[in-house]
Amino acid sequence: MKTINRLFSIFLIFLFLSNGLPLRLSAQPASPHHRPKVGLVLSGGGAKGFMHIGVLKVLEQEGIPVDIIVGTSIGSLIGGIYSIGYSADELEQIVQQQKWDELLSSDVSRLYLSPRDQALKQRYLFSLPINKEKKLSLPAGVIRPQNVLNLFCGLTANVPVDADFSNFPVKFACIAANIENGNEEVLDRGFLPTAMYASMAIPGVFMPGERDGKLLVDGGVVNNFPVDVAKKMGADIIIGVDIRDDYYEKADIKSMSEILLNLINFYSKAKDEKNRDLCDIVIKPDGTGYSGASFSRSAADTLIQRGIDAADAFRPALRALKEKYRLEPRTLSRQYIEPQAWRITQIELACKDELNKEFLLKNLNLETGETYNYADIKAGIDRLYGTGGFRNIYFELADNEKGKTLQLHLTMQEERSQNIGFRVNTTEAAALLLNASWKNFSRTFSLVSVSTELSANPGLNLLAETNWHHFPDLGFEVNAKFQNYNIYDDGKKAFDADLFYTSGKVYLEQRFRKFRTGFSAQQEYFDGDVFARDNTQTLSDATSFLLSGASFYASFDNMDHYYFPRKGTRLYVEATYNTDLKADGKNSPYLLFKMENVVPISRKVAFLANVYGRGVLNSNYPEIKSTFIGGEAYSRYFNYHLPFTGINPVMIGERFIGIGLVGLRFRLSSSQYLSVVFNSLQQGREYDEIVPELAIYGGGIKYNLKTFAGPLDITVGSSDFAKKPTFAANLGLWF
In three state form, how does the secondary structure of 450-480 look?
EEEEECCCCEEEEEEEECCCCCCEEEEEEEE
Domain architecture of the chain: domains with CATH: 38-106+152-325 (3.40.1090.10), 341-412 (3.10.20.310), 427-732 (2.40.160.50)
159 or 496: which carries more pLDDT confidence? 159
pLDDT of residue 105: 85
pLDDT of residue 649: 92
244 or 34: which carries more pLDDT confidence? 244
pLDDT of residue 539: 54
Please say if the pLDDT value at position 251 is more than 60: yes
Which run of H or E residues covers position 103? helix 100-103
Q: What is the band of 549 on the pLDDT scale with cuts at 50, 70, 90?
A: very high
For residues 578-602, average pLDDT: 91
pLDDT of residue 31: 46
CB of 392 within 8 A of CB of 152? no
Please say if the pLDDT value at position 23 is more than 50: no
pLDDT of residue 349: 93
pLDDT of residue 6: 40
437 or 240: which carries more pLDDT confidence? 240
Please say if the pLDDT value at position 7 is more than 90: no
* Chain segment 280-328, per-residue pLDDT in tens: 999 999 999 898 889 999 999 999 999 999 999 999 999 999 999 999 9
pLDDT of residue 679: 97
Spatial separation of the C-alpha atoms in residues 393 and 385, rounded to whole Å = 7
Per cent of the chain over pLDDT 70 is 88
518 or 623: which carries more pLDDT confidence? 518
Please say if the pLDDT value at position 446 is more than 90: no
Please say if the pLDDT value at position 417 is more than 60: yes
Spatial separation of the C-alpha atoms in residues 166 and 90, rounded to whole Å = 22
pLDDT of residue 386: 84
For residues 164-170, average pLDDT: 97
Catalytic site includes residue 540: no
For residues 354-365, average pLDDT: 82
Catalytic pick among 73, 114, 257, 555: 73
Q: Name which of 348, 519, 365, 359 is nearest 447 in CA terms.
A: 359
For residues 492-504, average pLDDT: 89
* Chain segment 502-541, per-residue pLDDT in tens: 999 999 998 877 889 999 999 999 998 877 656 555 555 5
For residues 416-438, average pLDDT: 91
* Chain segment 678-707, per-residue pLDDT in tens: 999 999 988 888 889 899 999 999 999 999
pLDDT of residue 152: 96
Model-level pTM?
A: 0.78
CA distances from 465 to 79, 473, 517, 684, 694 (A): 46, 7, 16, 40, 44
CB of 38 within 8 A of CB of 237? yes
Spatial separation of the C-alpha atoms in residues 48 and 44, rounded to whole Å = 8
Q: How many CB atoms lie within 10 A of CB 567?
A: 13
* Chain segment 703-729, per-residue pLDDT in tens: 999 999 999 999 999 999 987 899 999
Task: Tell me: cis bond preceding 448? Omega within 30 of 0 counts.
Answer: no
Name the most confidently modeled range: 93-102, 169-178, 441-450: 169-178
CB of 398 within 8 A of CB of 161? yes
* Helix/strand/coil for 133: coil
pLDDT of residue 24: 41
Q: What is the band of 470 on the pLDDT scale with cuts at 50, 70, 90?
A: low
CB of 702 within 8 A of CB of 630? no
* Chain segment 377-387, per-residue pLDDT in tens: 999 999 888 87
Q: What is the band of 20 on the pLDDT scale with cuts at 50, 70, 90?
A: very low
pLDDT of residue 266: 66
pLDDT of residue 255: 64
Please say if the pLDDT value at position 351 is more than 70: yes
pLDDT of residue 644: 97
Catalytic pick among 218, 242, 557, 580: 218
pLDDT of residue 526: 93
- CA 84, chain centre distance (Å): 28
What is the pLDDT of the chain when averaged over all its residues? 87
Catalytic site includes residue 73: yes
Please say if the pLDDT value at position 356 is more than 90: no
